[in-house]
Every structure is written in C-alpha cells, then in structure tokens.
Amino acid sequence: MLHAVGSAGQRPIYPYVHMYPTQVFEAELRYLSRHFSIVPLSRIVERCRRGERGRCREIALTFDDGLRNNVTVGYPILRRLGLPATFFVCPGLIESERWQWSYEMPVRLAHLSREERGDLFRRIGAPPECIDGVMGWMRSLDTRARGTIEEHIRESTSRFRPTAAERYLFETMTWQELASLDPDLITVGSHSMSHPILTKTERGRITDEIVQSRRALQRKLQRPVDYFSYPDGAYDESVLKLVRHEYGAAVTTEARFVSAQDDVHLLPRIGAGEERVHDLAWRLHRPNS
C-alpha cells in the first residue's frame, strides 16, 4: 500500500504524508522484484477466490488517493521496470480539481500562526491541540459536520496559496493523465468519489460514493473498474454489503499477508513508504510492526 511518491531526498514536509524519495522508491521496487514476483492485483484476487495455498512469493502494488506524483514520478519507474500496479482514485476530486480533505485541511492550518490556529480552534469547537490532534477530532465527526468545519477552515485561510512543494505532494491527477496510463500495466480502481470516511457518512451519500465513483471512472476511461479501496480503511456491514454488490474485490488497510481463506472484499495490505530499503524488508517479516 503506497500513497505519495518522489522527492529530491528531503524528509517529508508533513509527518502524516506517506511519501519517500524517488531513489528509495525505485530501490524498494528493485528489492521486491528480486525477492518476489510482482503481479497484478487480479492475480492475488483470483488465487484467493480459488483458495490456493501454492506459491506465496507474490506481491501486488497498490497506490491510494490518485495523487499526480503517482503519474509523474511513480508511473515512469513502474513502466521502465515493467511492474504492474493498481491506482485507486477519487473521480470526484479529479473532476473538481480539489485536494483530498485530509491533505488540504492540515496544510491550510499549517499556514496559520499558532495564535490564529488557537483562535480558529476555539471558534469551531476543536480541541486545543496540535494539527494532528485536530485532524483526529475531525475524523471522529460525521461527514456533514466535518464538511461544515472544512468550510470554516477554508474561510479562515482565504489567503492560502500552496507552495510548489505542497502542490507536488497533494495535487490530484487529471483525467488526461489517468487516461494516459497503459491499461496493460496499470489497473484503475475506485477510492470513492471524494474520500469521505464511509462509516461516518449518511446512507444516501454512501451509495453515491461507492456506486457512482465506479460509473464515473468507467464512463471517462472506457475500461472496466472492478476493485475498490476503502477510504481510511473504514467500513461496516452496510458499506461492505454495497461494495460486495458493486465490485469484484476490495482492499483494506489491515496490515498482514493475504491468506487463502481471506474474503476478496476485505483483502489486507502491508503499508510501504519506508525511508530505507531494509526498513521495508523488516516490515515484510513483521507486517504489524
């Protein structure tokens, strides 16, 4: 499970961003290629459906959030190495050219002074904590209430202009960029329309986020979209039921290996994004570490 990729080698600007240097990203892919067979997600899904216990040294690469750097940095490396991957994207964010809320909000808050943030937190009823603490509080709200808080933050940061580094990290890929990806190498899946936390979202909107996202992607790309990634890894029985009906398989954020007994709509993934190759090697031996 990957998110943002690529940089000149500096540490990530924001600690909550799963991003690491381009050179490390390529080195990790080469390491994985030496020790595993990197296969399309469809191969893992089919093996799981058949309950196969045979060869286990297979890995599928997945990228969440539909960030532009996945296309501009990640894709050329994948293509050069001939490695398949699945990009889970949010068509609503592509259409509106907006950042994912969990990227946009902390960046906007980081542009305020400490005094301005404290005043804003008091006005919106947020806990008087650090930005990460406020983000945790926002994740606990239902989608409608969180949307209201987002608008308050946007109004209070109306002069916000992202830096070049922030645009690089958080901008969403365009339809043209997504359509340019080789379908024989890159599978496109849905990550919902706009990346809400589905367990905090009203029923009518859940249907739109899950069902309409697939239809929008298929309409725009003229290719099948069979896989779903739960935003923030959040799901409940009602969400799962809808995903089962709409998609052939889905991935979670549960950190462990896939087993032959796994539900194909609840496939686990091991998070990547380490700063050193041997850190990734360790995680592959200790997925929960």
For residue 210, give every residue at least 6 positions away whose Cβ sits within 8 Å of its Cβ, in sequence order, or none: 190, 192, 198, 228, 239, 242, 243, 246
For residue 274, give every residue at least 6 positions away whose Cβ sits within 8 Å of its Cβ, in sequence order, or none: 20, 24, 28, 280, 283
Using alpha carbons, select from 243, 230, 191 the residue that is nearest to residue 213: 191
The 3-state DSSP class for residue 45 equals helix
State how far Cα 282 lies from the chain centre: 22
Q: How many separate helices (H) and strands (E) can be counted in the chain?
A: 15, 7
pLDDT of residue 21: 79
Q: For 249, list phi and psi in degrees, rounded to 5.
A: -165, 165
Q: What is the pLDDT of residues 43-64, one digit of tens each?
A: 999 999 988 765 578 999 999 9
Asked if 38 contacts 59 with a C-beta cutoff of 8 angstroms, the reply is: yes
Query: Has this prediction a pTM greater than 0.85?
Result: yes
Q: What is the pLDDT of residues 204-255, one digit of tens each?
A: 899 999 999 999 999 999 999 999 999 999 999 999 999 999 999 999 999 8
The 3-state DSSP class for residue 8 equals coil
**Region at 65 (left for phi over 0; alpha for psi -120 to 50; beta for the rest):** left
Would you say residue 9 has pLDDT above 50? no
The CATH superfamily label for domain 22-98+174-285 reads Glycoside hydrolase/deacetylase (3.20.20.370)
pLDDT of residue 272: 80
Q: Across the chain, what does the average pLDDT equal? A: 90
Q: What is the pLDDT of residues 143-193, one digit of tens each?
A: 999 999 999 999 999 999 998 888 988 999 999 999 999 999 999 999 999
Return the amino acid letter for 62. Answer: T
Using alpha carbons, select from 24, 85, 65 the residue that is nearest to residue 280: 24
Residue 287 pLDDT class (50, 70, 90 cuts)? low
Q: Where are the alpha helices (DSSP H) in 171-231?
A: 175-179, 203-207, 213-221
Asked if 258 contacts 236 with a C-beta cutoff of 8 angstroms, the reply is: no
187's enclosing H/E stretch is: strand 186-190
pLDDT of residue 246: 97
Return the amino acid letter for 79. Answer: R
Helix axes 143-156, 101-110, angle to 10 degrees: 30
- Residue 95 burial (CB count, 10 A): 15
